[in-house]
Amino acid sequence: MSLFKKDKTKEPEIALADMPSIFMIDDSEGDHGKESMLDFQLSYLLRVTTTESIELSKRVLMKLIGETPQMTTGFVENFITNLDVESVKVWKQWQRIDLTAEIDADCGSGVKHHVVVVENKAYTGIHDDQLSRYAETIEDYYKTKDVIIHYWVITFFDNGSENYEAIANQCKEAKGNWKCISFEDLVELTEYERQEGTNNQIIDEFWVKYWS
């Protein structure tokens, strides 16, 4: 009998994206701080683009500044090569806004100064006309600065669900040209990332492994 005979009964390896995140899953029900955790994790995901070459984090950053790469075979070469992130500064809960990020990035046509404004809605809706109020605060603060402002609501509700559509409609009605995006649409994984991750344990545990 050959020592190198292949074991056909061996179970296939489980993709990293199909493994539960021990960090994010316990016996709690409901939100229990998930929105606050998303603030910290998104802040880290954006800031790491200046120190590590992680395609996933760069794709997310580009999507938030309106430079969305197409998720097609071989798409990574062009935009990763062209993207140069000079600086990322993030503030959590400034003026009660979940996340405000200043990003200086060159996507191939020169450095542009972006401001990304994020309101996280894990399992809750918009209230008290907060989006319009936040937009007015941002517009007033940056009115003398040469920046491109992007407003986002990130939600864990599935795209197309009744709750998602309700938030999307509120974004359309609010001042500031807000856009709604789901957690899964924000962080689209390549097949390699689904199987192997990004080689960054913090990103893999929160963004790649299953927990929502």
Any idea which of 2-11, 24-33, 160-169, 185-194 has the lowest mean pLDDT?
2-11
For the stretch 101-134, pLDDT in tens is 999 999 888 999 999 999 998 778 888 899 999 9
Residues paired with 154 in a beta bridge = 120, 181
Sequence spans of domains, the chain: 16-23+31-208
- Cα torsion angle, 100, 104, 105, 106, sign: positive
Q: What is the pLDDT of residue 105?
A: 96
Mean pLDDT of 139-154: 97
Q: Identify the burial level of 12 via C-beta atoms within 10 angstroms of its C-beta, where 0-12 means exposed, 13-18 middle and 19 or more buried.
A: exposed
- How sure is the predictor about 36, in pLDDT bands with cuts at 50, 70 and 90? confident
Average model confidence (pLDDT) across the chain? 86
CA-closest candidate to residue 87, choices 104, 64, 112 = 104
Amino acid 198: pLDDT: 95
User: Is the pLDDT score of 67 beyond 90?
Assistant: no
Higher pLDDT pick, 112 / 4: 112
Q: What angle do CA 68, 170, 176 make, to 5 degrees?
A: 60
Tell me the two tokens of residue 43. 């802040």
